[in-house]
Structure 1
């Protein structure tokens, strides 16, 4: 290979560029201070401290722990000779490194490290003394449950990984670190269990994270849109959770988990459509109760999406399917309504969504009061004014209530949105439009995948062995195999015969 010759600078500055265009650490104290100030644009919180024995310290006040700085660095360096090796021996901070490039020093100082420079040496020592400003561990807010662990992730990546390691005291738990975002340089961790997770699945997730070229990644919900199989689909293909026990369950099933520094939720993949209607509490109750609850959630999802659309189609095109005893009260209820059923339904659905969104954005106590009072007042006023019928009020209320049974917030939002196009299809083409919408959704789901695995498994393609822990949940002794969707290397959780004995 041929390299372009570069002009060498004066020997006293030592600001040479290496073959990778990285700037070397200067041996001059003043030159080192000036370079760090220029790289950090003379930030107000950038502090430099020169010791009498020849050491120069550079750090950011807002990122460093002053107690650790004084006790573990300043007091230790005061009586030593000003050489990098002596600095490494004297500093009592656990995380220390030696750097010879300016870029590496800038990265370290932005992570809360103190840079120690020795006059006459082209290297620096970085010692991490970052402040530990973490929110205390609390109960899960969005995935609360009665039984099971009552602890949730927080915004600290180190804390979240430690929670997973406490649940999984396993040497095979692998942790790979990445930097994502050209401006934020966010830390992203990829976790999986060696000898259980499929290597091809891990490689696929690793490649997707490494291929991201974007300015910033501030949350897991943002990252998930960059790495999922089809970002244009309305259905999410990967799950987010704030529960460490659920993330550990994914790891034990051969799945991969992705954490983002600053985010309280972690990503799990691959996932299936039916897993969005499962909860960790299902594993803590008897299998009969868990099966009933799962069936109830799936039924509620169907009711929430199709109930209002069926009402609109029946009143607009298909009166013959309405029982004769219901026709008279239905006609009396709609006698004062000036709008066709499709306008009436869309108007009420929009009002319900407005109340729900207003209640979510207001403070908790005010939001609850707003939702209850607003629903009663608006519903009663709408019926008295003749804008809607009593029966539609009941149908809309049941559909809204059914949507709340979905344990996943993201899937709950999808169900809320799907009601509107189905109501429009039912209002224009009746049951034919409704069937067209259902077939479109079914084909759309069949075409989706999660990290390369079928999204509608175990029903399509049919994997009967995985049905025992899908909509139904059989006794634990029957669920001794890991789901085939993740293609785990170790397919057995335990030996069923030994468990029964």
Structure 2
């Protein structure tokens, strides 16, 4: 499907040659080692850790690298010692076969060579040849594998991705040792040259969708790329929408299930998050733990989650609309305590609700920014103290405090944090509409919200795709968690089966 020219002579898996940006200087590779050394010294004159060494065996070698980026033990034992003690190394091609390093690059592009040295590679030049080889001697700086911190759960694998992309890809291969698992390597960012891997199952994913994702990333002209969440925003079809169209996760198992459904996973070097795409609106309300529980338990929790979203969006708005325009919908038993609670409140319901909602958001944001131990205490103590003081001072009613607290609590029941933030934002326009037009304002807000979702797409795929249709392939995972025996084996984004080899079994079979 893809015709990629591969220059990286790897003993593991080939990667894609990155496009060479325009060179800033007219330097070129020279056969004379002294001339090459002069060019290197001129190029890296502002790097105190730049090292140039000259070794003499049968021929003269020049070794160039940045000392603070390379693995010194690997460089000495596997490269320098071999250059000094092995014979018949008179050409770059023979060096490629001799050195036992996993990644070797035989290249003659000066700008690309600079980029690799800045990433920790070592350049070896043989005197008399117009080009040399690049060896990956990068010193890995990564933290150990730990439990997920932001997506904790009781059941399932307790392992999270790290900032090292090679480790993340290895984890995916470990949990999904399938020969149909394909990778496409790319580099994004003129200054950072961030490595990206597009991972998919060849017999599950729609190849046209994979091509669309590759072309979308290839069309980006970024100066720098530091994290997967930034790439996800660049790939969104409608970045002005408050609703996220890409799911980012730190859990390995949450990335495996979408691959089996025919979706695509994108890993970014330096980011502990991976991108899952494309997605529908309902994918953001599904937890991977739903599949580890029995189907009845998973169905209950998924329904509870959907109900919590409705409470978060409409509870405060309903309170404002009822007290402003629709007293008749309030039960008679609640009229007296409600009137007593609001007797000292000098503000109309709309101002009262917006003020309390803003206080809740400030407490939530402050708790998230403070250190974990202090932040939890700040959220609990601050909420109790401010809430009690606000009621005693007559700024708000007891009932509204309960409703706003319930709405804030329900917004964080969403498994994807980006969607939880979107719900927190959408709640304010709905409250304003309820305060201006009452119940009609809530209905208009819901209608506009649905129209907005219907207009969205995720990498060219329908964003508000219905959870169930008459097509069997789309019944893979809707809003209802069904037993595995009754579930279909394909996602709406998977291929139709023409590219699936005969005899291939699905995960549930």
Normalized against structure 1, the TM-score is what?
0.91
Say whether the 8 Å CA contact 1:83–1:121 is kept in structure 2: no
- Supply the distance in 1 between the matched residues of 2:406 and 2:506 (Cα, whole angstroms): 44
Q: Note the C-alpha offset of 1:231.
A: 1.2
Q: Note the C-alpha offset of 1:467.
A: 4.9
Which residue does the alignment assign to 1:348?
A: 356
The 3 A distance-change label for structure 1 pair 468 and 158 is: closer
The 3 A distance-change label for structure 1 pair 202 and 326 is: same
The 3 A distance-change label for structure 1 pair 350 and 319 is: same
Are 1:74 and 2:80 counterparts? Answer: yes
SS at match of 1:140: coil
Decide which of 403, 419, 423 is 1:415's aligned counterpart: 423
Encode CA deviations 1:435-494: one digit per residue, 9 max, x unaligned.
111111011111111122211222487757645632111100111321224445468985
- Supply the distance in 2 between the matched residues of 1:493 and 1:144 (Cα, whole angstroms): 33
Equivalences, count: 479
- Supply the distance in 2 between the matched residues of 1:213 and 1:125 (Cα, whole angstroms): 28
Say whether the 8 Å CA contact 2:263–2:493 is kept in structure 1: no
Q: Note the C-alpha offset of 1:90.
A: 4.2
Q: State which drifts further: 118-127 or 209-218.
A: 118-127
- Supply the distance in 2 between the matched residues of 1:105 and 1:263 (Cα, whole angstroms): 24
Decide which of 285, 300, 309 is 1:301's aligned counterpart: 309
Q: Note the C-alpha offset of 1:376.
A: 0.4
Are 1:55 and 2:61 counterparts? Answer: yes
SS at match of 1:78: helix
- Gap runs ≥5 in structure 1: 1-19
Decide which of 268, 273, 292 is 2:276's aligned counterpart: 268
- Supply the distance in 1 between the matched residues of 2:386 and 2:338 (Cα, whole angstroms): 21
Which residue does the alignment assign to 1:83?
A: 90
Aligned-residue RMSD, C-alpha: 2.1
Q: Note the C-alpha offset of 1:289.
A: 0.6
Decide which of 387, 405, 411 is 2:395's aligned counterpart: 387
Q: Note the C-alpha offset of 1:404.
A: 1.7
The 3 A distance-change label for structure 1 pair 313 and 265 is: same
- Supply the distance in 2 between the matched residues of 1:396 and 1:447 (Cα, whole angstroms): 30
Which residue does the alignment assign to 2:477?
A: 469
- Supply the distance in 1 between the matched residues of 2:185 and 2:396 (Cα, whole angstroms): 56
Which residue does the alignment assign to 1:14?
A: none
Which residue does the alignment assign to 2:39?
A: 35
Are 1:254 and 2:259 counterparts? Answer: no
Say whether the 8 Å CA contact 1:334–1:389 is kept in structure 2: yes
The 3 A distance-change label for structure 1 pair 393 and 177 is: same
Which residue does the alignment assign to 1:337?
A: 345
Encode CA deviations 1:274-301: one digit per residue, 9 max, x unaligned.
1111111111111011111111101100
Encode CA deviations 1:176-218: one digit per residue, 9 max, x unaligned.
0011011111001101111221111011001001000111111
Are 1:162 and 2:162 counterparts? Answer: no
Which residue does the alignment assign to 1:277?
A: 285
Encode CA deviations 1:364-413: one digit per residue, 9 max, x unaligned.
11000000100000000000000000000110111111112111100000
Say whether the 8 Å CA contact 1:181–1:216 is kept in structure 2: yes
The 3 A distance-change label for structure 1 pair 384 and 59 is: same
Which residue does the alignment assign to 2:122?
A: 114
Q: State which drifts further: 98-107 or 332-341.
A: 98-107
Q: Note the C-alpha offset of 1:25.
A: 1.1
SS at match of 1:328: helix
Q: How does 1:100-499 map to 2 (within 5 A)?
A: 100-459=108-467, 466-467=474-475, 469-489=477-497, 494=505
The 3 A distance-change label for structure 1 pair 468 and 225 is: closer
- Supply the distance in 2 between the matched residues of 1:229 and 1:324 (Cα, whole angstroms): 49
Q: State which drifts further: 468-477 or 344-353.
A: 468-477
The 3 A distance-change label for structure 1 pair 40 and 393 is: same
Q: Note the C-alpha offset of 1:305.
A: 0.7
Say whether the 8 Å CA contact 1:468–1:474 is kept in structure 2: no
The 3 A distance-change label for structure 1 pair 268 and 78 is: same
Say whether the 8 Å CA contact 1:458–1:464 is kept in structure 2: no
- Gap runs ≥5 in structure 2: 1-21
Q: Note the C-alpha offset of 1:39.
A: 3.0
Q: Note the C-alpha offset of 1:236.
A: 0.9
Say whether the 8 Å CA contact 1:84–1:118 is kept in structure 2: yes
Say whether the 8 Å CA contact 1:72–1:93 is kept in structure 2: yes
Q: State which drifts further: 316-325 or 51-60.
A: 51-60
- Supply the distance in 2 between the matched residues of 1:342 and 1:134 (Cα, whole angstroms): 50
- Supply the distance in 1 between the matched residues of 2:445 and 2:68 (Cα, whole angstroms): 55
The 3 A distance-change label for structure 1 pair 196 and 464 is: closer
The 3 A distance-change label for structure 1 pair 142 and 32 is: same
Q: Note the C-alpha offset of 1:108.
A: 2.5
Q: Note the C-alpha offset of 1:241.
A: 1.2
Encode CA deviations 1:289-348: one digit per residue, 9 max, x unaligned.
111111110110010011000100100111111111111110110000000001100110
Q: Note the C-alpha offset of 1:118.
A: 1.7
